[in-house]
Structures are given as C-alpha cells and as structure tokens.
Structure 1
Amino acid sequence: MVTTSPLAHELACSLQEALFHSLTPTGWHRASSCPYATAWALLAAEITQEAQTSDLRARCQRYLLEQQQPDGSWGRELHEQLIITPHAYVALQLAYRHSAGEIRRALRQALLSARSFLRTVAAALYPRLPTEVLRCFRPLCWLAEHRGERHWVEPLPELLPLPRLVQLPGPGQMCWQLAGLADLLPQLWQAGGAGELEAVEARQLINGSWWSVTDLTAMALLTLELGAGKPLARQQGWSYLQEAQNSDGGLPQFYDSELFVTAYVGFAYAALVRPLEARFPEELRRLEPWLRTCQQVEGLWSFTPAFPGGDLDDTAWAVIWLLEGGGALPDDPAVKRALTALLKHQLPDGSFPSWAGLAGDPDVTAHVLHALSCAGYEGVAVQRALHYLLSSQQPDGAWRATWHRSPLYGTAQVLHALTRRPRDPAVDAALQRGAAYLLKQLQEQAAGGTGHLEGMGLSLWGLAALAGGPDDLLPCSRTQFDQAILQGLSALHHLVRASSPQIPESPALWIAQFSYTAQPLQLAAAAALTAALARPR
C-alpha cells in the first residue's frame, strides 16, 4: 500500500487525538444517547416518582425536547421515528402533568408537534408494520391504558398481535432472546405473583441493571414498583440509570459497553500489525492487564464485565489484540481458554453466532476465523468456517454483516480473516471480489463527495489487509490500487479538515436496535489505518 507520510501523518494526528482523548484506565465507556432508551427512563421515573430521580427526570426531559425533529418525531430514520415517537410522546405527556412554568410551555409545544406527526405520517404506516415490530409497543400500550389514557397510543392497541406465552430470560441472554419481554412484562405488571417478582429481582446484575440495557432496566423497575419489589433492588436500579445518563441528558441503550468498544478499537489496530507492520499504540498496551481481568471463567469476554453471558466477537477481538498487538504466544493461558470456548459455539453450517443460542453471522465468523488463524490453529472447524464465509459472499463481492448496517463492515472483516489463510484458488477469488467491492465503494465515495468518516475508514482499513500480499490478489494493478488508496486518503483528509477542529459526525452504521453508537467505533478503522501509514518505513 502506498505510503503517504505527510498526508497520513496529519490525518493520524487529528484522528488519534479525537479517539484517545476520552480513553480511561478501563477503556471507553460512553455511547451516544438514544431517544428510545431515554423515553423509557423518563416513563418509569414519572410513573414511580421516586425522590432520587428528580434530576434524572429533568435532564431526560431536556434531552427529548432538544432531540425532537422539525416534523415532531424522534429518530434519524423512518423506522426509528415510528418506534421512538410514541414512547417519547407518552413520556412527555406524563412529564407535562408534573410540570410548571417555562418547561411546561416547552413540553406542550413538543406534544402538539408530536401528536401531529403521529396522527398523519405514523397512523398511516403503523398498519403496515411487521407483527414482530408491533409487538414492541405492548408495554407502552399497557401503561397508557392502565392510566386511562388509551388515546395517547391510538391506533396501536388494535394492531397488537396476540401475546405469546414466554419465560423470563436468563441473566446471560441477550438480543432476540429478550424479545419476549414485550409480552411478558405487561403480564407481570397486571398479575405478577411473589414468585415471579422474585425471579425478576434475581435477574438484576451486579451493576444494578437488568441485562445491562437501560430501557429494559426501566421496565424492570416498573415491575418492582407495581409489584412492591425490594427497595434495595429499586435503589440500585435507579442508581444504574443515573450513572448511565450522559452529559446531554440522554441515556444510551446499552450501558456499560466498555469492553465491546475498547476491544473493537484494539482489534482495529492489531489487525494492521502484520499487513502494514503497524505499531500497536502504547495507550492500548497499558490496558492489557485490565483486558485480561475482564475474561470470564469459561474463557469468553462479554461486552461489559457486569454481564455474565460472554459474546464471541468481543472474545475474538481480545484474542487478536493479545496475539498481534500484545505479542502473546498461542499457548498463553488466556488465549487457549478463549479459543476452547469459541470452538464450542460453532454451528452446524460452520458459522459462529455472537451469543450462544443465536444464528450465525458472517462478521462474527470472520472474527473467530481471524483469531484462530492468528493463533496458528488448524482443524476441521477452520475449514467449516471458511466454507461458510465463501458460500455467504454476495454476487457483488460483499459480505453483509448482521451487526452492522453497512456491507463495508462485513466485507472488511472477512478480507482480514481470509488474508490470514494459506493460498487457495477459491479463497483468492473471494478476496479479489471482496477487494473489488471495497475499492469501487471507496472510489465512489471519494469522487462523489458522499463519503463519511466511518465508511471511508472501513474501506481503507479493509483494503489494507491485501497491502502486503502478492499483486495477483489485487483486483487491479498495484499502481491503480495505490492510486485509489491515495485518492481515498485525500478525500478523508478533506473531510476531516473541513470540519476542523471537530471530527465530522458520520451516519451511525453500527446497529443494535437504533442507529446510535459510540464515537470510538466510528473512528477506530480510520485512526488505525492512518496511524499505520504515517509510521516511517
């Protein structure tokens, strides 16, 4: 890959400063606020009126008022607006009843605007929503009807599917395994017994949350309030939400996610150590003792040490960090335990899921294959994972990841995994097609001025996997390849300089449920790539 020291050096300085200024001795902790999570925190606080939540309520109100869109909705995209707006609307209705003075006038104006959106745009679209999306409104509809305010959520009650009979998820379950809570919690609110209440209390984690998810914690607190749960559990739950609240008054959907965010950044840098002879940052080296202490007994890492269920992508990132960035050997006890745990979760089709019990994902499978290859592991599991990745490549050459909205992410991850494998005609062909896809996307972003920081960073970072390899793996000549990289760096440089001294905001590509993310996730690929290129050869 072309070395453009002056350009890369200036970019690296800006991006590294933006990335590392918020680093703590235990990683990066803050994710951006989400109106959905904030609305649920406000809903629970307004209903319970706990004395300790007065500041939480006031700051949530201000955040929601500031985040309302001109059309009266909340959210960045239409599907988000349809889900978030009714929740924010009901939360502010409850807040309005306890307000006075200037804030009351502001709330009234926001409510009028939101009602207009809900009665026009939203009302026409709700009947078209899939059943599983409509199901998420059941807790909100129950609360509105319970308070005699069914009209706040019309026409949603008539559209709800029949509730399912589900069991309370275990404390280590996550994502779609928690979807049944939308049916279960209203049942508990209405007729939960002492045994069921104790089961909810038993799910509380050591950080005071339920599943380390702020909106689910708010719903669990409502369960304890309506069922007269233990005061200590309620106090710890509210303390968790107060700790999760960001300086802008909003709450992220997941808190804390320090291992997830930090391990991803470390992985982004570690993945470039071999192909670009990159230097692993000293700031991350100092975190290695903390990283090791976060490993769970069974060998996996979780997105936060407080969450008992380990996930495979975080674990693979940590292994690559230790091996490539930290210089650990494959027989390192932490690495051996992690690889043993990872291999237990391979699915029959050769893929790996993010969590046990979920379907496999191309991006997670690429991360695990990458980690196994870095450790020198060879076996049937590697061949099965390789077959899965080759068979899941799309006709345009991309891999579409489950845990990222952009194909740039999935494709970049698979390229780094495949370049660690021995030469093979099928692998070589997949690499060429994947690189051609990223190269085309990079050129279009650079030429059309449509690029954004995360997307361009992922394209460049993914192509870096082939930088030190043979020319016949490239989708074009080496000269053309280097020229495209240079154009991409120039466009990235222009993007950053145009927004100086602030790093420009990117459309948030990382997705859990909504497009709200953490800045280190957006910066990591571009920062790691430019730092590697800025290093004198």
Structure 2
Amino acid sequence: MRGSAQEIVDAMTADPYGLTSPSVYETARMVASASWLAGHQQRVEFLLAEQHEDGTWGGPAAYGLLPTLSAVDALLSVAGPYDTRRVARAVESGMAALARRSRRNVQLPDTIAVELLVPWLVEQINQRLTRMDGRDGMPGRLSLQADTGTLSRIRELLRTHSGIPEKTWHSLEALGTPAVRSPAVIPTSGSVGASPAATTAWLGDPPHAYAATSCLDYLHRTQARHGGPVSGITSITYFEQAWVVTALCGSGLDVEIPAQVPDSLRSALRTNGLPAGPGLPADSDDTAAALHALALLGKPESVDCLWEYDTGSHFVCFPNERTPSTSTNAHILVALADRHGQGDPRCDLAVERVGGWLTEQQHPAGHWTDKWHASPYYATACGAAAVSRLDGPQASAALDNAVRWVLSTQRADGSWGQWAGTGEETAYALQILNHRAVPDRPAIDAILGGRAFLSHHIGTDSDDPPLWHDKDLYTPVRVIRAEILATLAATRHLTEAQN
C-alpha cells in the first residue's frame, strides 16, 4: 500500500490542477456552445454513451435532473455527421424522462448554482422547441416549473455592471449575453471560475480576439485531459493537496510528502484563506483543511484567516451562502483544535461553540448530512472526526450514535453506501468505527468485513461513482484513492490482532 500511496502523492505533485472525473452537465454545455473546440464529436459520443436506460443522465434520484436538462438541450443543438436517429432517440427518451419528473414535486439537491442552472436550462430547451415548432415529433414545450427569481436578479446585476458575487463566476453560462467579455469577470490563467462552460460563456462565439488566447489554451488543454469530455471543476489543486495529505499522514503509511506540497498551500493562503484551486474564490472549508494539513506536516500557519467566516454560532463556507455546511464546520473545528493548549482562548471557545452546533445538526438516527456531498457517510465521517476531538458527555454520545448508525447500515457484502456499496463510502464508515479506542465485537466484525470489501475493491481497480457536489456530481479521483488506502492502513492493527 505504501507504494500505491506514494504514487498518488507523486502524481498529485506533478499535476498543477488535480484530477476530477468528467461531467455530463459540463460536457453537454460544451457540445451546445463550443462545437468549434477540438473533441466535439467525442463529447457527443460521451453524452450518448452516458444516458441511462430510463432516459436520464447523471446521478440517482433528483441528482439526475440538471444533467438530463443539460444533455437534452445539447443534443437538441447537434447537427452534422452523426447518427441522427441515435441522437433523436436519446432526445426523445430524455424528454420523456423530464416529462415524468415534471409530474412530481421533486426537491432539488443543494448542488452548486442549482437555483440558476435549472430555470436557465428549462428556458433554453423551451426556446429550442419553439424554434423547432413541433417538428420531428418534439413537444412544443417542457412543462417543468422552476423559480426564475434568483436568475433574473443575478442577470440584472451583470447587465447593469453592478458586479456579481465571485462564486457565481463558476456558473456564468446561465447569465446570457451580458456575460460575454464582461469586465466584471476576470479570468485566471485563462479560465473563468475553473469551469469550461463559464469560460466559453465569457468568450462568446468565434471569432475570438487575440486577447482571448489564454482562454482558448485553457479550453484546449482541458478537453484533452479526458479526450473530449470535460470536468465541471478543472482546478482543485489545494483541495486535492490538503485532503490527500490529511488522509495519508497519521494513517500508518510511510509516504514522503515533497516540500512542494506545503509550499503550495502556504503560498496560496491569503487574509481570507485559500480556494479549492486557482480561479475559484477562497472558502473556509479548503482553508481549514489546508491549515490542518500544514499542521500535520509540522508547518503550522495562523488560523486568523478563518475568523471572517465566523457567524457567532457556526462558520459559513462562503459569505451569503444558502445553507451552512456540517463538513466545513467539522474541518474548522479540527483546524482550531490543532491549536489547543497554545494559549489562544478564542480558538478554545470556538471549538466548544462549533462542537455544540455540530452535535445539534446530527440526525436522530446518528448520521450527518452535508451540502458538499451526496452521501451521509462523508458528512458523518467528518462529524465523527471533529467530535472525537472533544471531551464531555455530549460529544461522546454523538460519536456513539454515529457508530450505531454505521453498524446498522452495513450491507451484506461488507460495504456501505447511500445507493450501492462503494469503496469511498466504505472507507468513511470504517473511519467512523475506528474512532472507538476499544472497539467491541460487533464493531470489529464490521471493520473486518469492510476491510475485505475495500481490499477487493482496490484489487480490481474499481472506479468510485461521482458523489461530490459541483454543478452535478463528480469524483475527486486521487482524494478518494488516498482515503481508501489510508483507511486500510489505519485499521490494519485490528486484522493483525485477529490472526
């Protein structure tokens, strides 16, 4: 395992962007708006191949709505040397799936900018259908209700040059004509919001001026990473570094973290922290994870950059966010707890305060949920790691409740998962169980079963499904691999004790 873990670190160090899975939503946006970009035919083929039997695209349940809207809109735009019958069948099946969904009251998942992207794509599809005027058997309109209030307000801000929140740049494609070369939006190293779709929206239609060369270079480089399809978020440099370091350090794996990694994190820190990667706004989640990673590497930095996110009861991830994040507050608690005993009463008081807030967010069954991940196993692993840093009966009870929930939800094959057993979620479940200093027999048996599943999972080099929230679900590939290997290493002592 040490060799595999070191390979992850070496690949991460050599990659300036981080590795994420391709996105149906984002790839469809490039099909619709950037047919001039290399890889267009491969992107069309990717969409056709990714459609499910029920006509949808993307994740399970409500997670399929936005990718399906995006794919249908993109395929409605396709013209050229393609199997037109195959494209038409995909559109027809996708429209039927959307029609079935429109008859149900489905709560949208809390993915990035969903309140902008869903009404925009409904609008886009209906405009295309109107222009088609019922040809090829297409309906005249998609009957899907979506609130356009927030979208209209953000569009008006951009139209009047009032400026829009930096976090909105990542979803600039929803804002229409005012987004094209908007002076209120500033590309970073050629990308707008680390998003191919947002960058294309800012560029506008060809021909592109010489000044846009860096954006064109970014788009060509981005589509080449997956051979045409693109990721929804193309820069997770600091996120990947912080999470991989945190997973591997202290797990029992003897890995060498090159000085380049802590140097990268330290150089990215500003007075308001750091972002997930270049071109994205700073946030308290990645900042807290980076601070904890640096502390583990023996290179601690000041936590003062976190205080501007403090609301008095908990910490926000971004200013003016819709919903608070349990995993963000768990990471902040851990980063502040690293300073325990260093004579900073502000940190100690915040740890106690955030710990109380976190335990209040725990569901009665014993798990947590979060806005950055589809699975409760991720949020619960973060929550358990945080409350395990605390003393007192409230924290102990929260950890016990989390352990009971994990034990009650293990699958027959030893795995855990929201929709099916996965390596990622199984690793999180084992991490929760491993917080018990002296596991009882049921916990030991569950850990052994989970380890057997994980060993088979990595032995067959199986992929993990997208579970992380961006505009649609994605996988931070190296982060998940590191979590799995680190979990196997951290629980190895239990296996050895049984032999």
TM-score (norm 1): 0.77
Matching residue of 2:112: none
Q: Which amino acid aligns with 1:458?
A: Y
Residues 143-174 of structure 1: CA deviation (Å, up to 9, x unaligned)? 6379x346568423785555533323857632
Deviation at 1:265, TM superposition (A): 1.4
Q: Which of 149, 153, 167 is the matching residue for 1:165?
A: 153
CA–CA separation in structure 1 for the residues paired with 2:423 and 2:61: 23
CA–CA separation in structure 2 for the residues paired with 1:366 and 1:71: 38
Q: Which has the larger Rg?
A: 1
Q: Which amino acid aligns with 2:58?
A: G
Q: 1:233 to 1:437 in 2, by over 3 A?
A: farther
CA–CA separation in structure 1 for the residues paired with 2:327 and 2:463: 24
Residues 313-337 of structure 1: CA deviation (Å, up to 9, x unaligned)? 111111111112x123xxx4xx11x
Matching residue of 2:235: 256
Deviation at 1:457, TM superposition (A): 0.8
Q: 1:232 to 1:323 in 2, by over 3 A?
A: same
Between Structure 1 and Structure 2, the one with more helix by share is 1
Matching residue of 1:451: 421
Aligned-CA RMSD value: 3.4
Q: Which of 481, 486, 496 is the matching residue for 2:443?
A: 481
Q: Any unmatched runs of 5+ in structure 1?
A: 1-11
Deviation at 1:248, TM superposition (A): 3.5
Matching residue of 2:394: 426
Q: Which has the higher contact order (CA 8 A, sep 6+)?
A: 1
Pair 1:360 & 2:315 matched: no
Matching residue of 2:50: 67
Deviation at 1:462, TM superposition (A): 2.7
CA contact (8 A) 2:191 2:279 kept: no
CA contact (8 A) 2:63 2:472 kept: yes
Other structure's SS at 2:14 match: coil
Deviation at 1:529, TM superposition (A): 1.9
Query: Which shifted more, 160-169 or 369-378?
Result: 160-169
Deviation at 1:258, TM superposition (A): 1.9
CA–CA separation in structure 2 for the residues paired with 1:250 and 1:464: 39
Other structure's SS at 2:371 match: coil
Residues 23-73 of structure 1: CA deviation (Å, up to 9, x unaligned)? 333566221111210111121123xx4xxx2x2323323322333334554
CA–CA separation in structure 1 for the residues paired with 2:172 and 2:260: 41
Matching residue of 1:527: 485
CA contact (8 A) 2:167 2:193 kept: yes
Matching residue of 1:231: 209
Pair 1:45 & 2:50 matched: no
Q: Percent identity between the aligned chains?
A: 22
Other structure's SS at 1:250 match: coil
Q: Which of 400, 407, 428 is the matching residue for 1:439?
A: 407
Which runs of structure 2 are paired with 1:54-203 in the superposition (5 Å)?
A: 55-96=38-79, 99-100=80-81, 104=82, 106=83, 108-126=84-102, 128=104, 132=115, 134-138=118-122, 140-141=124-125, 144=128, 148-149=131-132, 154-156=140-142, 159=145, 161=147, 164-166=152-154, 167-168=157-158, 173-174=166-167, 182=174, 185-186=175-176, 189=177, 192=178, 200-203=182-185
Matching residue of 1:414: 383
Pair 1:298 & 2:271 matched: yes
Matching residue of 2:306: 342
CA contact (8 A) 2:16 2:237 kept: yes
Q: 1:284 to 1:79 in 2, by over 3 A?
A: farther
Q: Which amino acid aligns with 2:219?
A: L
CA contact (8 A) 1:443 1:484 kept: no
Q: Which amino acid aligns with 1:493?
A: S
Pair 1:464 & 2:434 matched: yes
Q: 1:406 to 1:157 in 2, by over 3 A?
A: closer
Deviation at 1:445, TM superposition (A): 5.4
CA–CA separation in structure 2 for the residues paired with 1:79 and 1:154: 24
CA–CA separation in structure 1 for the residues paired with 2:232 and 2:479: 15
Q: Which amino acid aligns with 2:261?
A: L
Q: Any unmatched runs of 5+ in structure 2?
A: 109-114
Deviation at 1:442, TM superposition (A): 4.2
Deviation at 1:244, TM superposition (A): 1.6
Deviation at 1:140, TM superposition (A): 2.3
Deviation at 1:436, TM superposition (A): 2.1
CA–CA separation in structure 2 for the residues paired with 1:16 and 1:299: 31
Matching residue of 1:391: 360
CA–CA separation in structure 2 for the residues paired with 1:495 and 1:94: 40
Q: Which amino acid aligns with 1:311?
A: D
Deviation at 1:268, TM superposition (A): 1.7
Other structure's SS at 2:367 match: coil
Q: Which amino acid aligns with 1:441?
A: T
Q: Which amino acid aligns with 1:306?
A: G
CA–CA separation in structure 1 for the residues paired with 2:93 and 2:240: 35
Matching residue of 1:31: 20
Deviation at 1:364, TM superposition (A): 0.5
CA contact (8 A) 2:309 2:319 kept: yes
Q: Which amino acid aligns with 1:303?
A: A
Other structure's SS at 2:309 match: coil
Matching residue of 2:111: none
Residues matched between the structures, number: 468
Deviation at 1:136, TM superposition (A): 3.3
Matching residue of 1:493: 455
CA–CA separation in structure 1 for the residues paired with 2:307 and 2:94: 48
CA contact (8 A) 2:2 2:253 kept: no
CA contact (8 A) 1:85 1:114 kept: no
Deviation at 1:203, TM superposition (A): 0.8
TM-score (norm 2): 0.82
Deviation at 1:357, TM superposition (A): 2.1
Pair 1:282 & 2:281 matched: no
Q: 1:392 to 1:24 in 2, by over 3 A?
A: same
CA contact (8 A) 1:399 1:411 kept: yes
Other structure's SS at 2:49 match: helix
